[in-house]
């Protein structure tokens, strides 16, 4: 599933080609995503100029002069730029054609993504209750410490809670906990302020590094420019269950936390 760095990589790839461009038409081949694509999307978006392409958590916000297209890549989706009129292959559900001659094409084999329309996107039901962005000053270790005091859940699903902080998905939570030396199974309320300060720093560092390297290529993820991400080459623990720890050589363990696989080092993480 594309996580925050992959979505930010997509935003950076498509934004220069969309911003300032006018939409000539919208072609919807299959409306059956997680929520149906609005039947009048072509009418609402065609003829409008795209003002700004933003990201909120894992949602892309394509802001037009009036209204915003909210897009989520789901489990297998991607947005990339193609020549307008290029014949569509299977699973290529939407084209947003621009006057420049390019088209933003949405592909989603599993159809678990979304393309919705809103006049007030930040107050949309999918976005309004989200926590702060992890790479802003609104997120830090003090926030983690304060919100964790009455939380008996394991620390890994705690930092993956979008009401606590957005965008810390399975890959990056696993890596940040390893970098901070924290066992992902520990109760959130049992971790000290000092360790949360370290964890917040590692979350920021790892997410920033992943964005700069174009995200993590898992299965079929590619960025908006059609290029893969390369952060997978720098993973210490994610996807490496029962292999040797790159730091101490111990065998990495794998457990289920919040119905997600979690790999950790029993020696480096306490």
* Residues in Cβ contact with 179 at an 8 Å cutoff, skipping those fewer than 6 apart: 202, 205, 206, 236
Q: Which residues pair with 247 in a beta bridge?
A: none
Write down the catalytic residue from 56, 58, 156, 195: 58
**Active site annotation includes 58:** yes
Q: How far apart are CA 270 and CA 182, in angstroms?
A: 5
Would residue 260 show up in a list of annotated catalytic residues for this protein?
A: yes
> For residue 127, what are its two tokens?
């976005």
Indicate which residue of 143, 240, 260, 267 is catalytic: 260
Q: Output Rg (C-alpha) for the chain, integer angstroms.
A: 20
Classify 181 as helix, strand or coil. Answer: coil
2, 121, 134, 157: the active-site residue: 2
Query: And the tokens for 258?
Result: 């919040």
| Long-range interactions of 126-131: CB distance < 8 A, separation 24+ | 126/59, 126/70, 126/72, 127/56, 127/57, 127/59, 127/70, 129/162, 129/163, 130/56, 130/57, 130/162, 130/163, 130/166, 131/161, 131/162, 131/163, 131/164, 131/165, 131/166
CB 127 within 8 A of CB 58: no
Q: Is 267 a catalytic residue?
A: no
- Return d(Cα 50, Cα 206) in angstroms, integer: 31
Q: Which one from 3, 8, 97, 202 is the annotated catalytic residue? A: 3
Q: Find the Cα–Cα–Cα–Cα dihedral 203, 209, 215, 217, rounded to 10°.
A: -100
**91 annotated ligand-binding residue:** yes
The yes-or-no answer on residue 198 being catalytic is: no
C-alpha dist (Å) from residue 101 to 25, 117, 122: 11, 23, 30
Binding-site annotation, residues for DNA: 91, 110, 151
Please identify every residue annotated as catalytic. Answer: 2-3, 58, 260
Binding-site annotation, residues: 91, 110, 151
């Amino acid at each position: 599933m594309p996580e925050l760095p992959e979505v930010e990589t997509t935003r950076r790839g498509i934004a220069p080609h969309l911003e300032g461009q006018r939409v000539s038409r919208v072609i919807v081949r299959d409306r059956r995503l997680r929520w149906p694509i609005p039947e009048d999307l072509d009418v609402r978006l065609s003829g409008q100029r795209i003002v700004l392409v933003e990201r909120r958590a894992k949602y892309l916000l394509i802001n037009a002069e009036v209204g915003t297209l909210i897009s989520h890549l789901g489990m297998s989706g991607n947005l990339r730029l193609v020549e307008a009129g290029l014949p569509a292959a299977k699973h290529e559900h939407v084209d947003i054609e621009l006057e420049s001659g390019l088209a933003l094409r949405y592909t989603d084999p599993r159809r678990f993504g979304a393309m919705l329309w809103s006049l007030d996107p930040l107050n949309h039901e999918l976005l309004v209750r989200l926590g702060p962005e992890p790479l802003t000053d609104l997120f830090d270790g003090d926030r983690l410490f304060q919100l964790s005091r009455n939380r008996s859940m394991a620390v890994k699903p705690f930092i993956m809670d979008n009401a606590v902080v957005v965008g810390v998905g399975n890959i990056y939570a696993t890596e940040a906990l390893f970098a901070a030396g924290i066992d992902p199974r520990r109760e959130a309320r049992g971790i000290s302020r000092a360790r949360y300060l370290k964890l917040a720093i590692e979350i920021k560092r790892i997410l920033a590094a992943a964005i700069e390297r174009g995200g993590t290529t898992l299965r079929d993820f590619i960025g908006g420019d059609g290029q893969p991400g390369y952060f997978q080459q720098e993973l210490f623990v994610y996807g490496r269950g029962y292999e040797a720890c790159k730091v101490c050589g111990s065998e990495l363990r794998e457990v289920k936390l919040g119905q997600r696989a979690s790999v950790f080092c029993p020696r480096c993480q306490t």
